[in-house]
DNA sequence: CCGGACGCCTGTCGGC
DNA sequence: TGCCGACAGGCGTCCG
């Protein structure tokens, strides 16, 4: 479910409620997520203050003096701030209960998400250390994409969705960025020019930045920390719009499969 | 190293 | 109405 804008929206929603609060207890109802939740999490985090909440790629990092809680929302995860006595519903796997009577509650029906605990520098964690640059930083540029793509025959859509290349670009925003940059999603990554990669880097920044401003995209079940949806869906130019006219040229938007994922594009505008 | 396929899970939706 | 396959916002792993 969540790509970078949805994770960033979640971060901005939860941070004011948890930073500076102390953890009273951690309740684990289901430890079988993408990786099992560590049995040491509860005792390690109890009594710890949350000193910071941040994001790296699609991972949320909750910093304490004793270590860092690393949360990934997978395809169907969401976090909410609720009164600690709110009865849990199906797939509410984890509560981090704070000293003000509220808790951070993780719901994840498909259990592709993860909750990790590390006492080391989280950036050296195996899940984080090999990630590419943040898309909204200066490290993502046309020159960077050009350098990383030389010699690669992979389709550009799959190239920009590779978190070792650049993080945070998921299936929705990959199609949207390629549409904005007018690049065909099946174009081989290694055959794209510097100028077009500059346009693509700009398009990635533009679409992610704008989506954050709208609170992310809700296709089915994404909710922010207040339980409300994101409103970027109305701004999508191609994703989930197969058969609808391209707003630039009127051609019907096409849907194809690339690497088991749906891709949407305009066959007239994108080459 | 690279690229492609598969698997992990549950819920929903469309077609028959 | 009910069943059944397809598909869904991610990503690690395996294999050639």
Average pLDDT for residues A80-103, to the nearest whole number?
Answer: 98
Structure tokens at A95: 């509560």
- Known catalytic residue at A3: yes
- DSSP lists the bridge partners of residue A63 as A52, A68
Catalytic annotation, pick one of A55, A56, A58, A148: A58
Average pLDDT for residues A13-17, to the nearest whole number?
Answer: 98
How far, in Å, CA of A78 to CA of A17, rounded?
16
Strand A261-265 versus strand A254-258 pairing type: antiparallel
Closest nucleotide relative to residue A154's CA, C1' based: B3
How far, in Å, CA of A250 to CA of A268, rounded?
9
The 10 Å Cβ neighbour count of residue A36 is 12
Average pLDDT for residues A186-192, to the nearest whole number?
Answer: 98
Average pLDDT for residues A84-100, to the nearest whole number?
Answer: 98
pTM of the model: 0.97
Residue A221 confidence (pLDDT): 79
Catalytic annotation, pick one of A31, A34, A127, A261: A261
Strand A92-98 versus strand A23-28 pairing type: antiparallel
Helix pair A171-181, A194-213: axis angle to 10 deg: 130
Structure tokens at A163: 């978190």
A257 touches strand B (CB under 7 A): no
Domains, chain A: 4-124 (3.20.190.10), 142-265 (1.10.8.50)
A109 touches strand B (CB under 7 A): yes
A110 touches strand C (CB under 7 A): yes
How many Å apart are A14 CA and B4 C1'? 38
The mean pLDDT value of chain A amounts to 97
Residue A202 confidence (pLDDT): 98
A260 touches strand B (CB under 7 A): yes
Residue A108 confidence (pLDDT): 97
Closest nucleotide relative to residue A57's CA, C1' based: C10
How many Å apart are A224 CA and C9 C1'? 14
A35 touches strand C (CB under 7 A): no
Strand A92-98 versus strand A78-83 pairing type: unpaired
How far, in Å, CA of A13 to CA of A236, rounded?
23
- Known catalytic residue at A268: no
Question: Phi and psi of A74, rounded to 5°?
Answer: 60, -140
Closest nucleotide relative to residue A257's CA, C1' based: C7
Evaluate if residue A190 carries a pLDDT over 90. Answer: yes
pLDDT tens, position by position, A128-164: 999 999 999 999 999 999 999 999 999 999 999 999 9
A127 touches strand C (CB under 7 A): yes
pLDDT tens, position by position, A203-217: 999 999 999 999 999
Evaluate if residue A223 carries a pLDDT over 70. Answer: yes
Q: Give yes or no for a contact between A111 and A74, defined as CB atoms under 8 angstroms apart.
A: yes
Three-state SS string across chain A, please?
A: CCCHHHHHHHHHHHHHHHCCCEEEEEEECCCECCCECCCCHHHHHCCCECCEEEEECCEEEEEECCEEEEEECCCCCEEEEEECCCCCCCCEEEEEEECCCEEEEEECCCCCCEEEEECCCHHHCCCCCCCCCCCCCCCCCHHHHHHHHCCCCCEHHHHHCCCCCCCCCCHHHHHHHHHHHCCCCCCEHHHCCHHHHHHHHHHHHHHHHHHHHCCCECCCCCCCCCCCCCEHHHHCCCCCCCCCECCCCCCECEEEEECCEEEEECCCCCC
Structure tokens at A204: 């990635």
A261 touches strand C (CB under 7 A): yes
Structure tokens at A219: 């296709």
Catalytic annotation, pick one of A3, A6, A8, A176: A3
Average pLDDT for residues A22-40, to the nearest whole number?
Answer: 98
Evaluate if residue A1 carries a pLDDT over 80. Answer: no
């Amino acid at each position: 479910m969540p790509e970078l804008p949805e994770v960033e929206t979640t971060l901005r929603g939860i941070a004011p409620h948890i930073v500076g609060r102390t953890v009273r207890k951690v309740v684990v109802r289901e430890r079988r997520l993408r990786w099992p939740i560590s049995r040491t999490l509860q005792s390690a985090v109890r009594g710890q203050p949350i000193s910071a909440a941040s994001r790296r790629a699609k991972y949320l990092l909750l910093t304490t003096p004793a270590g860092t809680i690393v949360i990934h929302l997978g395809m169907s995860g969401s976090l909410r701030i609720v009164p600690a006595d709110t009865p849990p519903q199906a797939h509410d796997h984890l509560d981090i209960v704070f000293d003000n009577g509220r808790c951070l509650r993780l719901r994840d029906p498909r259990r592709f998400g993860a909750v990790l605990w590390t006492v080391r520098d989280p950036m050296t964690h195996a899940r984080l250390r090999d990630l590419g640059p943040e898309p909204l930083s200066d490290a993502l540029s046309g020159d960077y994409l050009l350098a990383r793509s030389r010699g690669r025959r992979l389709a550009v859509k799959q190239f920009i969705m590779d978190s070792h290349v650049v993080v945070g670009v998921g299936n929705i925003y990959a199609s949207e960025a390629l549409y904005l940059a007018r690049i065909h999603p099946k174009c081989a990554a290694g055959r794209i020019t510097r100028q077009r990669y500059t346009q693509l880097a700009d398009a990635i920044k533009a679409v992610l930045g704008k989506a954050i401003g709208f609170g992310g995209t809700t296709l089915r079940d994404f909710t922010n920390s207040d339980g409300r949806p994101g409103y970027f869906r109305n701004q999508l130019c191609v994703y989930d719009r197969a058969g609808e006219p391209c707003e630039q040229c009127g051609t019907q938007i096409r849907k194809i499969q690339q690497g088991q994922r749906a891709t949407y594009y305009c066959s007239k505008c994108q080459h």
